[in-house]
A and B are shown apart, each in its own frame.
Chain A
Amino acid sequence: QVTLRESGPALVKPTQTLTLTCTFSGFSLSTSGMCVTWIRQPPGKALEWLARIDWDDDKYYSTSLKTRLTISKDTSKNQVVLTMTNMDPVDTATYYCTRRIATRTADYFDYWGQGILVTVSS
């Protein structure tokens, strides 16, 4: 059974760095083809793709946020960590981690964590 769970602070101050951890089970990030992606959703707004890390440690970032994001993995702990620097109130959102499945003809997010609401406020 595949599960993912996000953890981290619920409240951060402007200019601080946010560190979120995705702890997963039911699959291994050392398996070829496996990837974990972070996605966020501001209250009442649409989903926004943030970053992805692959089994081979390839990393990909949002075009608009890439200077602020870092994604890393600890395969032995089944964890993926996302850091976002210089937090601003507009970064207030629910942050999700997801498992990405890719085949020759399809590519999608099949399992999602429950999400963690992060509020940026002084």
Chain B
Amino acid sequence: DIQMTQSPSSLSASVGDRVTITCRASQSISSYLNWYQQKSGKAPKLLIYAASSLQSGVPSRFSGSGSGTDFTLTISSLQPEDFATYYCQQSYTTPRTFGPGTKVDVK
């Protein structure tokens, strides 16, 4: 199975901050990398697919980049509704695997 890691595991930020989360795969996954946002008690929500494509309805302050083994999710200007946990997920092989998550909380 492909292992996914994320860093940091948590971060504290303020509204307006630029936030960057990194995801790394244990082997090359091309651009088969997705990002999800999960708020407490809710199901995950797709933000970015294929490493850099913005899901319909997702604000443009979210962006993704990377290919191969290293990927980044960036929030250009953090908004109050963005405090949540973020997961990366590879869709290169089955079984699909998720990263351990990055929790973004209030500084």
Contacts and interface: CB of A to CB of B under 8 A. Distances in A.
Contact of A46 (B31, B32, B50, B101): B101
Given A107-B32, A107-B91, A108-B91, A113 B100 contact: no
Chain B interface size, under 10 / 10 to 19 / 20 to 34 / 35 or more:
20 to 34
A106 B50 CA distance: 5
Contacts of A113: 43
A52 B36 CA distance: 19
Contacts, number: 57
Given A60-B95, A61-B95, A63-B95, A47 B44 contact: yes
B94 interface: yes
Interface string A22-60: 000000000000000100000000111100100000001
A106 B95 CA distance: 16
Interface residue tally on A, bucketed by range: 20 to 34
A109 B1 contact: no
Nearest to A37: B96
Contacts of B76: none
Contacts of B101: 46-47
27 contacts: A37-B96, A46-B101, A47-B36, A47-B87, A47-B101, A49-B95, A49-B98, A60-B94, A61-B95, A62-B95, A63-B95, A96-B43, A102-B91, A106-B50, A107-B32, A107-B91, A108-B49, A108-B50, A109-B36, A109-B44, A109-B46, A109-B89, A110-B46, A110-B55, A112-B43, A112-B44, A115-B43
Interface of B: 1, 31-32, 34, 36, 43-46, 49-50, 53, 55, 87, 89, 91, 94-101
- Nearest first, the 6 closest Cβ-Cβ pairs linking A and B are A107-B91, A106-B50, A112-B43, A108-B49, A47-B98, A49-B96
